[in-house]
Amino acid sequence: MKYVSTRGRVEPISFKDAVMMGLAEDGGLLVPAEVPKLTGADMERLRNLSYPELAYEIVSLFTDDIEPEKLRDIINRSYKVFDTEEVIPVVKKNGIYIAEIFHGPTYAFKDIALQFLGNLFEHILQERDQQLNIIGATSGDTGSAAIAGVRGRKNINIFILHPEGRVSPVQEMQMTSVPDENVFNLAVEGTFDDCQYIVKSIFADLDFKRQHSLGAVNSINWARVLAQIVYYFHAYFRAAENGEKIRFVVPTGNFGNIFAGYFAKLMGLPIEKLILATNENNILSRFIMAGDYTLQDVVATHSPSMDIQLASNLERYLYFLYEKDTERINRLMETLKQEKGIKFPEADVKKVQEEIDTYSVTNDETVGVIRDFYNETGYVLDPHTACGVKAGLVHKEEFKTVCLSTAHPAKFPDVVRDAIGEDPDKPEGIKRIEGLEKRKVSIDNDIEKVKAYIADNV
């Protein structure tokens, strides 16, 4: 399997090279040159596998440059650290299925991909005798999960940018209480979009990237998306009969989580439609409903991991929507850069709507969903999952529906307390870090200052 850029100006590369490159050197995103297709017989064979076994079968379709036993070992070690043997439980509540994709070390769905990516990085670096300096931006959960995936590992440093004061206290604590010397937390005066822009700009400086051996941990790295494809198959097998079409509801801000579902559908998973759930930062909803992808100011909400305007993984979706027309992608991305927005024609919007529906949820609605769902079922939702459940309840009568539950409610205790009148149960992993010393550096929203900090600390 070879990997190519959505912008068409990088020669095809191997899986391991794609992992190490992160962002394509032409500024695009790396994608598989081909889409592996699964038959009904394949689906039946995969149905009863354990999560690590299923992950091996799916991931191995995308890589031919890692020995099978080594790949199995990487995957098995990645999911041994989860707090349930099932890795992702799927429960049915109030007529919808909820896939709990938050049982990793940091209690967020990002652990699914970042434990895998951390072990993958370690394997490749040891094999090549190389050093890697990871830089990433986070709206809350990616940072702590990425740090958990690589903390203390040899030959790796990690620099995580987060928007100062715009992540939850638990999310900040998970990132900044890690004492390992290879971990650097940078609190940027700005929004997540500012952090993401800085990271992508640094990767665009190819001389700086090569000089300092930079690697990506955000969902711009294909391995992140690859690991997420697996849980769509897992959840489908737990909720549906073979061949039955279902819907997935996906809370998302950066489009990576839902793009993994879209790719699973391309592979043959019987997804009737994907439902994109978001909060008041509804640029993706506007894109789906009206073809309006115009950047606006980011609004702080109860679901901070979705407080995003510039969704980097949308580029991967557009690449497939426009049948791999890389020149068109280059023109669209240049328009976005110059005009801070894209207006899509009606015919293209209709194509999108055939595959993806959308629902945006206000802060007040988020609290109301957490309260009502708890009163009806006794089940506690985090605010991101509440956005998805709101959409799922609207659609549950039409098709069997699976909602992805992206974070443990204990990561957002203030919102949950406001909704149900009491604190959510707190996992031991969160209790252990309360009161620990925080290690972070406040830094200006300035690309050159961030580059200088990285250069001084690699």
- Please identify every residue annotated as catalytic: 110
The residues near 326 (Cβ < 8 Å, ≥ 6 apart) are 5, 6, 7, 8, 9, 28, 319
Using DSSP's 3-state secondary structure scheme, residue 55 falls into helix
Segment (H or E) for 5: strand 3-5
Question: What sign results for the dihedral spanned by CA atoms 52, 55, 60, 65?
Answer: negative
Of 52, 49, 68, the C-alpha closest to 60 is 68
- The β-bridge relationship of strands 30-32 and 3-5 is antiparallel
- How open is the CA angle 187-225-357, to the nearest 5 degrees? 95
For 104-245, list the strands marked E by DSSP. 132-137, 156-163, 183-188, 214-216
Q: Tokens for 150?
A: 């690589």
Query: Cβ distance 455 to 202 under 8 Å?
Result: no
Query: Cβ distance 99 to 84 under 8 Å?
Result: no
Of 447, 455, 449, the C-alpha closest to 198 is 447
257 vs 262: CA distance, rounded Å: 9
Segment (H or E) for 251: strand 246-251
Phi/psi-derived region of residue 344, left when phi > 0, alpha when psi is between -120 and 50, beta in every other case? beta
Place of tokens 């009163």: 375
441 vs 455: CA distance, rounded Å: 15
Query: Cβ distance 147 to 123 under 8 Å?
Result: no
Of 180, 176, 179, the C-alpha closest to 160 is 176
Using DSSP's 3-state secondary structure scheme, residue 321 falls into helix
427 vs 407: CA distance, rounded Å: 12
235 vs 248: CA distance, rounded Å: 9
- How open is the CA angle 235-121-160, to the nearest 5 degrees? 85
